Amino acid sequence: MVQHNNRHPPPTAKTSIILPTYNEKDNIVELVQAIHRCLRPEGFNYEVIIVDDDSPDGTAEAVRAAFDDDDRVELHVRTQDRGLASALRYGAEHSDGEMLVFMDTDFNHDPAVIPQLIKFLEYYDVVIGSRFVMRGGMEDSARYAFSFAYNLGLRFLFGTRVWDNLSGFFAIYRDRLLELNLDQVFYGYGDYFIRLLMVGWRRGWRMLEIPVFYQLRMHGHSKTQFLSIFTQYTVAILRLRFRLWMERIR
């Protein structure tokens, strides 16, 4: 039997959608417009927080030109720090929604799924957009197969029931996130999500995975070097597994 969170957030509860950007000039405006189309008709109270790592392609300028008068869109340009995980943390800390949605800005993550992520938070602590549950998937079949096998290994190593530990498309309550030591979670690249889920799993968070289908990037080129990123993930995973092992034998 599923145990429900039963938070019943009030209709006025606010959601902050965190968008980290670097050289996404050709995607960001269209993405924010798509988010508006998905959320405005349903009456959601939300804000869009864009955290740009001082992109040289003019991402920030494109945002300012398109949304200067839009009080739902807030732009932050970082000139010191860099990196996906730290940008997501920065966005969370500079937003004020009771609920937080994290997603990529290259249209891998479909904005049409956001309303489902938000609504299911009524019953769960974290709602994950998953490629590996029924009706989920990826347009890139080779990466899908590799990612599926990698996630099977993660489930075996850590004993969790989460199928997509590398998603990064999820909704969470702000107070749940702030329970954590963010310094021990938000560093590196997408491996932050593995740490987040592991800590949440050990704390007994109720987690739900809903299907998402990853399309290919609409514009520009991916900044992710596939093999190097998975090498980085593997190192992070082995360190986490060793740390948990050490904690168990103390």
What tens digit of pLDDT does each residue of 196-222 get?
Answer: 998 898 899 999 999 999 887 655 555
pLDDT mean over 46-62: 97
Q: How much of the chain exceeds pLDDT 70, in percent?
A: 87
pTM for the whole structure? 0.86
How far does Cα 99 stand from its chain's mean position?
Answer: 13
Three-state DSSP class for residue 51: strand
pLDDT of residue 29: 97
pLDDT of residue 249: 42
Three-state DSSP class for residue 110: coil
| Arithmetic mean of pLDDT over the chain | 87
CA angle 176, 180, 182 (to 5 degrees): 120
pLDDT of 116 strictly over 90: yes
Helix axes of 191-202 and 84-93: crossing angle, nearest 10 degrees: 60
AA letter at 70: D
User: Pairing state of beta strands 170-173 and 99-102?
Assistant: antiparallel
pLDDT mean over 141-170: 86
Per-residue pLDDT reduced to its tens digit, 3-38: 445 666 766 799 999 999 999 999 999 999 999 999
pLDDT mean over 221-244: 67
pLDDT of 108 strictly over 60: yes
pLDDT of 250 strictly over 50: no
pLDDT of 98 strictly over 70: yes
pLDDT of 223 strictly over 70: no
Domains and their CATH numbers in the chain: 14-249 (3.90.550.10)
- What CA–CA distance (Å, rounded) separates 151 from 46? 32
